[in-house]
Structure 1
Amino acid sequence: MSIQMYPLKFEPIYQYRIWGGRKFEHLLSKPLPENEPIGEAWLLSDRKDFSNTVTDGILKNTTLTNLMKDYRYEIMGKLGYHFEKFPLLLKLLDCNEVLSVQVHPSDHQKEYIPHGESGKTEAWIVLETDVNSRIYAGLKKGTTKESLIQSIQDKSVAEQLHSFAPNKGDAVFIQSGTVHTLGGTVVFEVQENSDVTFRLYDWDRIDSKTGKPRDLQVDQALACIDFNQVEIGPVVPVESTDIENAEILFDNNHFKLWRIQSQSEFKVGIQDEPTVLVCTEGSGIITYQDVNYTITKGEVVLLPAIIGVLNFQPENKVTLLQISVPDKK
């Protein structure tokens, strides 16, 4: 089954969250569900329960899951031999209130990962802050399993966590096994394609939809914590040598992310590898086979591997995230 590929834009999927807000109303064009807090907008997801659909072109309304089934090698190129599902999950988070204190398992902790899932390493880029913004990333030095358990019992968990007030543009890497949470901020998140989260503490909140506290998974969380992950702060960007006006924010065995800020034309995409573009400020145009594809603030575009390298022309000053998937093999 063959079809002519093109830059693929996707419809976001909104998710109710007890800690969410309504800020996506000015960040994204898709209307929000009425009268409930929306904490997550899934921008690119290949999950059985939630899979984004293409917004235009001959593949309009096709899910990413079906694209990966029918056009895996066109999408993934040489990485198609290694991945049956798209390996990343991209989101926006509107953390109107602080999330639960949580941890994700690593890929190696198989006993805590459901069949078909992976561990979960993730990273954030701060898009908006307010006076209450706080990122909790890693434990304070000297925190032990025993002191953490005691803090859960006496409701002083925050005192065991390293935290800082983030600034717009900060980039934070959350290795699997790192205790973390955040609040009072909007962030872009890139992560492994996994939904495995263990809650350590939830601030004694009641979910208004159920009238009950949310479930905790304290034993699993404690088992997955890497107590060496302490005092995590923003990463130091590294100037890119392969893209002009770009810096590398994350480069690990799950994802590589460049942040490009430019008013002049530049190259995007990688030959024979998939690339994801996310616009966080401004707008621009990609031209492919004499057709113009516009990307504006809050939108995501997947460049199938078969497309290769394209020109990106900003319509004004643009901030564009380019994300690739490392070849693990």
Structure 2
Amino acid sequence: MIESLMYPLRIEPIYQYRVWGGRRLADFLMAPLPGDGPIGEAWLLSDRDDHPSRVAAGSLKGSTLRQLLEQSPDLLLGKLAGRFRRFPVLLKFLDARDKLSVQVHPEDGQQGDIPAGESGKTEAWVVLEAGPTSRIYAGLKPGTTRAELERALASRAVADSLASFTPVVGDAVFLRARTVHSLSDLLVFEVQENSDVTFRLYDWDRVDPKTGKPRPLQIEQAMACIDFGQVAIGPVVPVIEEVAPVRRERLFQCEHFSVWRHTGQASFSVGAVDTPRVLVGLVGEGELEHAGLPFPLGRGDVVFLPAAVGACTYRPHTPVNVLEVALPE
């Protein structure tokens, strides 16, 4: 029965309070922001026990991604079924009104630093909006040693040891696990391994107004994870794969995920036979066509394309910018 119900699945965002967050996501997503405090993250696609994504529309409305994967792994994952304990990537929008903590994530092989059931965390960002004080910190300045970084921590001058640059809208930045990083005054899309393991090295001497206390640091774990050979990281150079009917650029391709960016106004194909894809609308409005039916996909929308849906056509109503996320095959 579920096979006959399978269609492009629009996913509800899950909002997360973050002390460094803002309220810009209210202008980017249709779902209203909760309360009036800082919302730093919208989890767009999450297969996690504490924050499971749910289908937002159609006959499967309310179903979680986990429930669908358990009921029909072949329909959801196609030829990738059986390879993953859970859906292996986590997608987010980040609204960093203030600075993220200076942080680092372990890589998959560092089992002593990774809680049971978790993985390492390689991630990547696409810049959606940039403010007057925008900054990305990624990697260390050349020659920085552990001893020098420890001295910088003691003197609260950590930023002096970090490589950084001023990003612009459209920049794509790849952050392999073990890379020290932070960002500020930016709205970004993030794709990452499905992990919530973060070690804070420094939090800019900030106090969380919810608790009245500084957030905890994990300096020893962070130091143990850092790749001190990882120097300055800048934006990637997109690989242009097509220029017609729309521009198709490959932004990222690694052992954990691949991401393409489609820009233009003509109709184009998305999805793939027997493998899942995820679409994220960044600019403009349009609709997917599947089995003769239209499925809206516009700014801020996230649509999971089950493997059983395969390739389908996206028909823009306006000029669009759409990301397409794939798993490794």
Which TM-score applies when normalising by structure 1? Answer: 0.98
In the alignment, which residue of structure 1 is the partner of 2:39?
38
Paired position in structure 2 for 1:66: 67
Q: Distance in 2 between matches of 1:157 and 1:2?
A: 53
1:117–1:194 contact (8 Å) kept in structure 2: yes
In the alignment, which of 222, 244, 257 is matched to residue 255 of structure 1? 257
**1:287: which partner in 2?**
289
CA contact (8 A) 2:279 2:322 kept: yes
Aligned residue type for 1:145: R
Q: Offset at 1:33?
A: 1.2
Residues in 1 aligned to 2:247 and 2:131: alpha-carbon distance in whole angstroms? 28
Q: How many residues align?
A: 327
Distance 1:29 1:311 in 2: 23
| Aligned 8 A contact 1:72 1:84 in 2 | no
What does 1:102-251 align with in structure 2 at a 5 Å threshold? 102-240=103-241, 244-251=246-253
Q: Does 1:3 align with 2:3?
A: yes
C-alpha distance in 2 between matches for 1:84 and 1:114: 15
* CA deviation profile, 1:74-96 (whole Å, cap 9, x unmatched): 11111112013111100000000
Q: Please, what is the CA RMSD of the aligned residues?
A: 1.1
Distance in 2 separating the partners of 1:317 and 1:46: 31
Give deviations 1:153-209, integer Å, cap 9, x for gaps. Answer: 110000000001100000000100000000000000000000000000001111101
Provide the TM-score with structure 2 as the length reference. Answer: 0.98
Are 1:68 and 1:84, in contact at CA under 8 Å, matched by a contact in 2?
Answer: no
Q: CA deviation at 1:228?
A: 1.6
Q: Percent identity?
A: 53
CA displacement at 1:242 relative to structure 2: 10
Q: How does 1:57-96 map to 2 (within 5 A)?
A: 57-96=58-97
Equivalent position of 2:53 in the other structure = 52
Runs of 4+ residues over 3 Å off in structure 1: 241-244
Distance 2:220 2:114 in 1: 14
Rounded to whole Å, the distance in 2 between the matches of 1:238 and 1:287 is 27
SS of structure 2 residue aligned to 1:296: coil
Please state how far the C-alpha of 1:2 moved relative to its aligned partner. Answer: 3.7
Q: Gaps (5+ residues) in structure 2? A: none
* Residues 135-160 of structure 1: CA deviation (Å, up to 9, x unaligned): 00000001001100111011000000
SS in 2 for 1:81: coil
Q: Mark the runs of 5 or more structure 1 residues left unpaired by the alignment.
A: none
Contact 1:102 1:199 in 2 (8 A): yes
> Equivalent residue of 1:240, what SS?
strand
**CA deviation vs aligned residue, 1:15-63 (integer Å, no higher than 9, x gap):** 0000000001111111111221000000000000001110111110001
